[in-house]
């Protein structure tokens, strides 16, 4: 630390720094320096790494504002809910205790790409953060296929603005408690509120939403009870045989349905239009974050690789002083710190470290491959074009497929990966595979699997409901490898579903392999 500050002192004093072409000197920053640094970094990024980015909007915020952003799931706008208050208290506590530093930046997948910079950062850090977020993350957001297909970067902010206003209006109209009840229930189902396999419908534009609302209001105003007394049309008159009836029903309701929130929003019999709209808001927020959760390693890896490469290039060109570079490297090495599994500091695999290592490994494989690499990666080994290889990987993969495709034996040896098999019935773990010839494939597959959200989250679907009969909503949980649901939270969540559905809800645990029903839980068995 002392070394670092003295270095700063020297560069500050020498006076010739500005002449020598440095982008900045000293720890202080101002908007001119930020802008100069950004332009230099962007130029190199486009020229050397061929990055393709959204326009950037940088916002300077204080630590307090950073905490605020943390507690509202990182979005600049969010509706009000008590759980955000709870998260804020928790984050604030960690921060105050020094248990966790705040992030230096926060980046929003939007167009223009919004990057928050903390005012406390030194200029060297701001440069690092600019390269990391404004270029690395930004490029990833714009080019990765998941983000391109599943989220709409240009619409999210205006949608959140609408959501915030809409929920506030609902609270005014229907009371905070009523809105909270719906939000609580919807939040509980956020994990089950995304489309995993088919693409979600596009966010409607502000004008369309306005139109829908106007129509709803019109219907409310012009409601006439007389229409209810009209005899039903002939089509729905005779339900034929039972089996064909069930098949028909499933078809019309599009069952089985994996997106519980979507199903409830469209088919619940008890919800008012405003309640459906709130569920829709929660569902859209969940869907928005779904790609981010599938691309943690890649996203952070891409950003870290970009900042590390760019900073070194800047340094090589004499645009950054040694002192600033030391500070950058120190922060960089903090970020990619990965303790071993038996270290008290271990808390899982650091996505920054794994992502960066894999990407640097790809760079190595395409420029100086070993015989083993040629064997494992005939397509890219020695192709010499690491830039295109990485750009391609960033664009076309998510964590699971990226690891399955690119994790090399060399890296597994470096990380000394091993698989611990854990059966709940056994009193001990068993080491299943280690980093050797026989283990490489298994480790790679296992690690990829652990990043597959579809596989690691409970798979729960709506399978049946008899709208004309008892209206019981039947859910099915596909039990994989005998992993059941945690009972207390399962019951609490089922209660929330009943709130939204209005009638009995049951959840059957079905073994994915044998198809046997392991148990069945219904809301009628759960007390209030």
Partner 1 sequence: MPIFIDRRLNPKDKSLGNRQRFLKRAREELKRSIRDRIRTGKIADVDSEHAVSMPARGTGEPSFSDAKDSGRRQHILPGNKHFAPGDRVPKPGQGGGGSSPGKTVSEDDFRFVLSREEVLDLFFEDLELPDMVKLNLKEILAFKPRRAGFAATGSPTNINVGRTMRNSHGRRIALRRPKQEELDAIAEQLAILEAEPRSAAPVRQRIAALREELERLERRRKRIAYVDPVDIRFNRFDAQPVPNANAVMFCLMDVSGSMGEREKDLAKRFFVLLHLFLKRRYDRTEIVFIRHTHEAQEVDEETFFYNTQSGGTVVSTALEEMHRIIEQRYPSNEWNIYAAQASDGDNFVTDSERCIGLMDGQIMRLCQYFAYVEIIDERESHIFGTTDNGTSLWRAYSAVNQRWPNFQMSRIANAADIYPVFRQLFARQPAFQKSA
Q: Is 53 left (phi over 0), alpha (psi -120 to 50) or beta?
A: beta
x/- site string to partner 1, residues 108 to 127, per CB under 8 A?
----x---x--x--------
**337: contact with partner 1 by CB under 8 A:** no
Name the minimum Å distance from CB 157 to partner 1: 13
DSSP letter (8 states) at residue 509:
E
How many other C-beta atoms lie within 10 A of the C-beta of residue 146? 20
Using the minimum distance from each CB to partner 1, give the nearer residue, 82 or 223: 82
Query: Least CB distance from residue 527 to partner 1, whole Å?
Result: 14
Region 238-257 residues binding partner 1, contact defined as CB under 8 A? none
Residues 509/461, Cβ–Cβ less than 8 Å: no
- 56-61 and 459-465: which strand pairing? unpaired
* Residues 265, 277: Cα–Cα separation, whole Å: 8
For partner 1, the closer of residues 79 and 274 by Cβ is 79
**Among residues 242, 438, 527, 528, the one that binds partner 1 under rule CB under 8 A:** 438
Nearer to partner 1, 203 or 435 (CB): 435
Q: Which two tokens stand for residue 454?
A: 């579809």
The continuous run of DSSP H or E covering 158 comes out as: helix 156-174
Does residue 55 belong to the site contacting partner 1 (CB under 8 A)? yes
CA 320 to chain centre: 33
Asked if 516 is part of the footprint of partner 1 (rule: CB under 8 A), the reply reads no
DSSP letters spanning 31-51:
HHHHHHHHHHHHHHIIIII--
212 interacts with partner 1 by CB under 8 A: no
Coil vs helix vs strand at 186:
helix
C-beta of 81 vs 249, nearer to partner 1: 81
Distances (CA, A) of 515 to 127, 295, 482, 495, 509: 56, 32, 12, 26, 9
**Closer to partner 1 at the Cβ: 137 or 366?**
137
| β pairing state of 505-511 and 473-479 | parallel
Burial zone of 289 (CB within 10 Å; 0-12 exposed, 13-18 middle, 19+ buried): middle
DSSP state, 257? B
Residue ranges in 60-89 that form contacts with partner 1 under rule CB under 8 A:
60-62, 64-65, 67-68, 71-72, 80-89
Asked if 40 and 133 touch (Cβ cutoff 8 Å), the reply is no
Q: Of 280-319, which residues contact partner 1 (CB under 8 A)?
A: none
- Least spacing, CB of residue 62 vs partner 1, in Å: 5
| Closer residue to partner 1, CB minimum distance, 375 or 486 | 486
The stretch near partner 1 (CB under 8 A) out of 214-222, 237-245, 364-372, 422-430 is 422-430
CB of 313 to partner 1, least distance (A): 19
CA dihedral 488, 491, 497, 502 (to 10 degrees): -140
The position carrying tokens 């829709």 is 280
In the complex, what is the shortest distance from the CB of residue 288 to partner 1, in angstroms, rounded to a whole number? 18
Q: Parallel, antiparallel, or unpaired for β 505-511 and 517-522?
A: antiparallel
Token pair 């939040």 in the structure block, residue: 187
Longest dimension (CA), the chain: 92
Using CB under 8 A, pick the residue from 434, 463, 508, 526 that binds partner 1.
434
* Comparison of 338 and 370: residue with beta carbon closer to partner 1: 338
Tell me if residue 371 falls in helix, strand or coil. Answer: helix
| List 141, 415, 440, 501, residue binding partner 1 (CB under 8 A) | 415
**Residue 443 binding partner 1, by CB under 8 A:** yes
Interactions with partner 1, residue window 152-181 (CB under 8 A):
176, 180
Residue 83 C-beta: closest distance to partner 1, Å: 6
The CA distance from 194 to 476, in Å, is 16
Closer to partner 1 at the Cβ: 454 or 482? Answer: 482
372 binds partner 1 per the rule CB under 8 A: no
Under rule CB under 8 A, which residues in 474-513 are in contact with partner 1? 477, 479-490, 492-493, 496
We find the least distance from the C-beta atom of residue 251 to partner 1, in angstroms, to be 26
Neighbours of 448 (CB within 10 A): 18
Among 4, 17, 292, 338, binds partner 1 (CB under 8 A): 338
Q: Which of 8, 24, 29, 38 binds partner 1 (CB under 8 A)?
A: 38
Work out whether 463 is an interface residue with partner 1 (CB under 8 A): no
CA neighbor of 467 nearest in space, from 273, 209, 269: 269
Q: What angle do CA 18, 59, 87 make, to 5 degrees?
A: 130
We find the least distance from the C-beta atom of residue 50 to partner 1, in angstroms, to be 20
Cβ at position 468, least distance to partner 1 in Å: 28
């Amino acid at each position: 630390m002392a070394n670092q500050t003295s270095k700063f002192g020297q560069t500050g004093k020498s006076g010739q720094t500005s002449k020598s072409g440095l982008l900045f000197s000293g720890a202080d920053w101002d908007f001119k320096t930020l802008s100069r640094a950004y332009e230099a970094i962007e130029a190199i990024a486009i020229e050397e790494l061929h990055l393709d980015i959204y326009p950037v909007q940088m916002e300077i915020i204080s630590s307090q504002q950073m905490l605020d952003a943390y507690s509202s799931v990182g979005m600049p706008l969010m509706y009000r809910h008590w759980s955000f208050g709870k998260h804020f208290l928790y984050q604030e506590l960690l921060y105050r205790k020094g248990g966790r530093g705040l992030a230096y930046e926060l980046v929003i997948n939007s167009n223009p790409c919004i990057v928050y910079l903390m005012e406390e950062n030194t200029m060297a850090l701001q440069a690092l953060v600019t390269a990391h977020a404004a270029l690395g993350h930004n490029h990833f957001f714009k080019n990765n296929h998941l983000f391109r297909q599943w989220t709409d970067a240009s619409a999210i902010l205006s949608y959140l603005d609408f959501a915030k206003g809409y929920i506030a209006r609902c609270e005014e109209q229907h009371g905070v408690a009523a809105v909270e009840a719906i939000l609580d229930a919807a939040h509980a189902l956020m994990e089950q509120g995304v489309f995993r396999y088919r693409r979600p419908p596009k966010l409607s534009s502000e004008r369309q939403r306005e139109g829908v609302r106007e129509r709803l209001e019109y219907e409310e105003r012009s409601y006439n009870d007389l229409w209810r007394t009209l005899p039903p049309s002939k089509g729905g008159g005779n339900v034929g045989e039972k089996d064909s009836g069930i098949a028909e029903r499933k078809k019309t309701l599009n069952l089985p349905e994996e997106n519980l929130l979507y199903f409830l929003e469209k088919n619940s019999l008890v919800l008012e239009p405003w309640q459906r709209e709130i569920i829709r808001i929660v569902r859209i927020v969940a869907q928005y974050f779904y790609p981010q959760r599938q691309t943690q390693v890649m996203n952070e890896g891409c950003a870290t690789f970009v900042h590390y490469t760019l900073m070194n290039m800047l340094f090589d060109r004499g645009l950054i002083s040694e002192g600033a570079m030391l500070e950058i490297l120190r922060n960089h090495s903090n970020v990619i710190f990965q303790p071993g599994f038996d270290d008290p500091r271990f808390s899982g695999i650091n996505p920054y470290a794994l992502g960066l290592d894999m990407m640097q490994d790809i760079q190595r494989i395409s420029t100086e491959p070993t015989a083993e690499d040629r064997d494992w990666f005939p397509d890219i080994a020695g192709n010499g074009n690491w830039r295109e290889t990485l750009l391609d990987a960033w664009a076309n993969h998510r964590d699971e497929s990226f690891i399955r495709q690119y994790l090399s034996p060399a890296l597994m040896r470096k990380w000394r990966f091993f698989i611990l098999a854990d059966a709940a019935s056994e009193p001990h773990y068993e080491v299943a595979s280690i980093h050797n010839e026989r283990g490489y494939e298994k480790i790679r597959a296992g690690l990829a699997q652990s990043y597959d959200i579809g596989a690691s989250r409970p798979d729960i679907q709506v399978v049946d409901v008899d709208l004309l009969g008892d209206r019981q909503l039947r859910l099915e949980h596909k039990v994989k490898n005998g992993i059941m649901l945690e009972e207390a939270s399962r019951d609490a969540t089922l209660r929330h579903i009943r709130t939204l559905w209005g009638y009995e809800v049951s959840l059957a645990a079905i073994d994915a392999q044998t198809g046997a029903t392991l148990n069945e839980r219904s809301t009628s068995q759960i007390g209030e």
